[in-house]
Structure 1
Amino acid sequence: MNAPRRTALFSVAASAALALSLTACQSGEGTKAEGAAPAAEDSVSASTAASPPAAGASTSGNTGSGTSTAVGTAHRSGSASSGAQKGTTTPLCRARDVKVSSERQDGPPYTHIVLTARNTSGHRCEMAGFPHIQFLESHKQDVPSVAKSKPAAPTVLNPGDPAYVLVKLSDGGVDEDNEVVNAFQLVLEGDSTVIAVDSSAGGGLAVDPAKTLTGYWTTELRNGADDF
């Protein structure tokens, strides 16, 4: 009876030991498996960090950055230049900006005078259009202008520069209805200030109000355009 019992107990003990051994092995393998995963991830991360970026990706990134800077600079420069062009509007010359004088042209008979307007200001200005001249108190109409004398470009004066305009007084005939003018007045385009011009030298100007004409302001008198 004792021998079979010992045999049975040994069998039970052996079975229990085997079960414990199997459990321990399974537990160890599971631990190793769990530890292997982070190691693999670390290996992948290290490999990725060590590998250089693709050449295409690097070039694209640099080009994009450089283009953005270049375009931004060009845009700012263009805007500044455009702003400078739009903002640089030359003001019209006012009566206070110029000194106007007259001089007989050719003659005798003296049929024309040349008006000179010199920029006495400290800035650039534009002599626009033509002078609005009135020679006589009895004739309040402005002297008509001659369209062909209008210059193609604006007449812009730097400080000290002159502008000229040719003015016809008469046809020079002895039978004309002339009146002597020792002073006359004019106003500039865009300014209502009256400018008085002394013309008394040489006994004054013989003016026929029906024949008077004026050209446009120019930087120099031109053959053809200023012949009338």
Structure 2
Amino acid sequence: MRTSHRTIRTALLVAAVAAASLSLTACGGDDAGAKDAGSARSSQSAAAPETTAAAPAASASASATAAGQDGASAAPAAAKTTTGSGGTSGGTSGGDGSETTKGAGSGAEAPACAHGDVKITAAKADEVPTEHIVLTATNTSGRACTLLGHPLIAFGDIQTAKDVPPVAKSRPAAPVVLDPGAPAYANVRISLGGVHEDNKVVKEFNVNLFAADGPAEGSVVVTAPAGGVAVDEAVAKTGYWTPELRNGADDF
């Protein structure tokens, strides 16, 4: 009986140890599982903010791309519209304005200058002896007028004086239109210089102008420079009216 009781106690003890081992193993497995589960939850929790942050970034990137595409497509459209409408409107108004201005300018011809429209003065040319004088006609009318042809000069009595012929090469290419206050010039040969028996001292002389159909009515009395000039009517010549004296054309 002693042997049997000892054997039974031993068996019970072994069974208890085995049960304890199994319990500890089970507990260890639960801890490991809990740890694994906890690690998984922690990983998911850590990953969640990254996923959340990435989503707005992707969304912002998509929005920026969309906005960029919309802006790029809208900007040329706006530029095209502005340029197109501005160009069309400016071109039309500019064209109309230019054509209107040109039409008015070409249609408004300045009338011929009359003797009362200009003041004529005479000055000796810069030479010794004096062979030329320069006439200056200044528009004093307050409006534009056209100075036609050449001066009609009479060195003496206007009814009997010899006509002073013009020099063809001095004719300007276009009519001389004088704005108010503007001058025109004519070079005039009065002698060949020196003392000659045919020279006569002239202290004043008459200058007439051309109208559209011939010599104008009336004349301007011009005072000779320096108290008088020696004139030889046989060699006297006049240049055409011109806005400025030109080398060559007005040298004779």
1:102 matched to 2:122? The reply is yes
Q: 1:222 to 1:212 in 2, by over 3 A?
A: same
CA distance in 2, matches of 1:156, 1:82: 17
SS of match in other structure, 1:222: coil
Q: 2:237 aligns with which of 213, 223, 228?
A: 213
Q: 1:135 aligns with which of 147, 155, 170?
A: 155
Who is 1:173 aligned against?
A: 194
CA distance in 1, matches of 2:105, 2:120: 30
Who is 2:134 aligned against?
A: 114
Who is 2:168 aligned against?
A: 147
Tell me by how many angstroms 1:83 deviates: 4.9
CA distance in 1, matches of 2:247, 2:97: 43
CA distance in 2, matches of 1:175, 1:140: 19
1:195 matched to 2:215? The reply is no
Moved over 6 A (4+): 76-79
Q: Tell me if structure 1 keeps the 8 A contact 2:155–2:162.
A: no
Larger radius of gyration: 2
Task: Provide Cα deviations, 1:82-133, integer angstroms capped at 9, x if missing partner.
Answer: 7524521111111111110000002331110000001112111111100000
CA distance in 2, matches of 1:189, 1:175: 32
Who is 1:183 aligned against?
A: 204
RMSD: 2.3
Tell me by how many angstroms 1:192 deviates: 1.6
Q: 1:78 to 1:120 in 2, by over 3 A?
A: closer
CA distance in 1, matches of 2:178, 2:237: 24
SS of match in other structure, 1:84: helix
In the alignment, residue 148 of structure 1 is paired with which amino acid? K
Matched positions, count: 155
Q: Tell me if structure 2 keeps the 8 A contact 1:139–1:209.
A: no
Q: Please show how residues 34-45 of structure 1 align to structure 2 within 5 Å.
A: none
Q: 1:103 to 1:77 in 2, by over 3 A?
A: closer
Q: Where do 5+ consecutive residues of structure 2 fail to align?
A: 1-92
Tell me by how many angstroms 1:140 deviates: 2.2
Q: 1:79 to 1:142 in 2, by over 3 A?
A: same
CA distance in 2, matches of 1:77, 1:213: 46
SS of match in other structure, 2:210: coil
Task: Provide Cα deviations, 1:182-228, integer angstroms capped at 9, x if missing partner.
Answer: 010011111221110011x4230100010100000011100000000
CA distance in 1, matches of 2:149, 2:115: 14
CA distance in 2, matches of 1:212, 1:139: 15
TM-score (norm 1): 0.62
Q: Where do 5+ consecutive residues of structure 1 fail to align?
A: 1-72
1:92 matched to 2:112? The reply is yes
Task: Provide Cα deviations, 1:56-77, integer angstroms capped at 9, x if missing partner.
Answer: xxxxxxxxxxxxxxxxx9xx88
Tell me by how many angstroms 1:80 deviates: 4.9
TM-score (norm 2): 0.56
In the alignment, residue 207 of structure 1 is paired with which amino acid? V
Structure 1 or 2: larger helix share? 2
Q: 1:222 to 1:82 in 2, by over 3 A?
A: closer
